[in-house]
Amino acid sequence: MDLSYTPEEEDFRARLREWLGKVLPALPPKPSPDDWPARRAYDLGWQRMLYDAGYADVHWDASPTTRLIFLEETEKAGAPYVGAGFVGLLHAGPTIVAEGTPEQRERWLPPILRGEEVWCQGFSEPDAGSDLAALRTRARRDGDDYVVSGSKIWTSHAEVADWCELLVRTDPEAQKHRGITWLALPMNAPGITVRPLRTLAGSAEFAEVFLDDVRVPVTNRVGDENDGWRVTMVTLSFERGTAFVGEVVACRRVLGELAAEARRNGRWDDSVLRRRLGRLNAEFRALWRLTQWNVSEAEAGGVPGVGGSVFKLRYSHARQELYDAAAEVLGPHALDLASPWMLDRLSSLSYTIAAGTSQIQQNIVAERILGLPKGR
């Protein structure tokens, strides 16, 4: 693992830092999490600023190390999160880069980069969560269209999305991984109903999406018919891998804030708590090093491998521990949603579930890294 940066990389860091210092003070305040249209506008506005400054495509075209620097610096500076742009920038976008035709890249990539279009991810279904390949939403070919019927669930950002990366079953006879196809679904097509779902934090972050004979042009298919599983796996390894770089930096910042608060309110004198924060410091330092390691591997190999599962398992747990420690620092204030970190504490509960549960990640580590026999 090479922990040094080249002069070009250091130069990139310096320029970025300077730019952030200039633009961040002028940003409007963050909208309320319940106001989805405002959130969309805010997140896309930030993406547009990145675009105009030449940083928009850092997730796609830049080297992994440059991307690492970008995520590190933006988070340190307190820049907005990728937010509503998540699926487009970190998931559908990279998939289209890797598997799309030139026309598809031309159609979909620039609006993502310019912050004009929001994507969501329509993979999970009521009966297909951990067992994603059991999905049943059906697409039948009718002339130049697919006609799609079924339903999706837990679709984050669906309320404000323009497009949905949709997994459908095109061959019900084939083995379950083989009959799946990846489609770009326009969210304004007739026959789509979006029903928001409330999370335990009280906000509507995800939705159910019902599809009733929705027509999707065959030209919206990315990859071959019935080859959608392979197309998806390429990007899922990304979602489980380097997508959390900025968050690790964020956790290290929160840890520092916790220590400062504990000093202020006297909890720092509790040696059990103090040492717990010390341990968490070790944890996040190590996770940061692991991130750098994964990035240098990716630099050499291209696509992140199953190592992402190692990271995700440990990180999702550490994140929950961090916010438990925050509750310890705050004492009774931890029951107040208006206290800092408490909404993050609630949302951290999803980290061991979303993007593949911890149990599923452990199976992946045991089977694909350790080579243990399959079977649950």
Partner 1 sequence: MWGAADPGASQPTVRDPRPRLDRALWRALGELGFFSLRLSEADSGAGLGLPEAVLVFEEAGRALVPGPLLATHLAAGEVPGAATGEVVVAAADGRLVEWMDEADVVRRGAEGAVPMDSVDPLTPLHRVPAPAPADPVAVLLTAAEQLGTAARACELAVQHARTREQFGQPIGAFQAVKHLCAQMLVRAEVARAAVYAAAVTAGRADIAAARLLADEAAVRGARDCLQVHGGMGFTWECEVHLLLKRAWVRAQRSGGITESEELLAAELVT
Ligand X SMILES: Cc1cc2nc3c(=O)[nH]c(=O)nc-3n(C[C@H](O)[C@H](O)[C@H](O)COP(=O)(O)OP(=O)(O)OC[C@H]3O[C@@H](n4cnc5c(N)ncnc54)[C@H](O)[C@@H]3O)c2cc1C
Query: According to CB under 8 A, which one of 104, 149, 199, 226 is a site residue for partner 1?
Result: 199
For position 198 contacting partner 1 by CB under 8 A, the verdict is yes
For position 334 contacting partner 1 by CB under 8 A, the verdict is yes
Query: According to CB under 8 A, which one of 226, 297, 333, 367 is a site residue for partner 1?
Result: 333
167 binds, among ligand X, partner 1, none (CB under 5 to 8 A by kind): none
For position 70 contacting ligand X by CB under 6 A, the verdict is no
For position 233 contacting ligand X by CB under 6 A, the verdict is no
Provide the β-strand partners of residue 210: 151, 193
Q: Which of 362, 269, 251, 235 has the alpha carbon at shortest distance from 315? A: 251
261 labelled catalytic: no
Q: Which of 259, 270, 272 has the alpha carbon at shortest distance from 322? A: 259
- Active-site entry in 239, 261, 283, 367: 239
Please tell me the distance from the alpha carbon of residue 124 to that of residue 106, in angstroms, as a whole number. 28
235 binds, among ligand X, partner 1, none (CB under 5 to 8 A by kind): none
For position 206 contacting ligand X by CB under 6 A, the verdict is yes
Query: According to CB under 6 A, which one of 12, 55, 154, 284 is a site residue for ligand X?
Result: 154
For position 197 contacting partner 1 by CB under 8 A, the verdict is yes
CB 285 → ligand X: shortest distance, Å? 27
For position 234 contacting partner 1 by CB under 8 A, the verdict is no
Angle value at C-alpha 45, between 44 and 46, nearest 5 degrees: 90
Q: Which of 162, 196, 142 has the alpha carbon at shortest distance from 88? A: 162
Query: According to CB under 8 A, which one of 153, 166, 167, 245 is a site residue for partner 1?
Result: 153
Please tell me the distance from the alpha carbon of residue 307 to that of residue 53, in angstroms, as a whole number. 33
Residue type present at position 234: V
For position 124 contacting partner 1 by CB under 8 A, the verdict is yes
Scanning 4-12, 100-108, 181-189, 341-349 for contacts with partner 1 by CB under 8 A, the matching segment is: 341-349
For position 374 contacting ligand X by CB under 6 A, the verdict is no
Q: Which of 61, 39, 181 has the alpha carbon at shortest distance from 115? A: 39
Specify whether the CB–CB gap between 177 and 206 falls below 8 A: no
What burial letters (b/e) apply to 208-241, b meaning 16+ CB within 10 Å?
bbbbeebebeeebbbbebbbbbebbeebbbbbbb
Q: Which of 312, 290, 321 has the alpha carbon at shortest distance from 359? A: 312
| Shorter beta-carbon distance to partner 1: residue 300 or 338 | 338
Annotated catalytic residues are 239
Positions in the binding site for partner 1 (CB under 8 A)? 30, 32-34, 80-81, 83, 86-87, 91, 120-121, 124, 127-131, 134, 153-154, 156-157, 197-206, 239, 243, 247, 250, 270, 327, 331-338, 340, 342-344, 346-355, 357-359, 362-363, 376
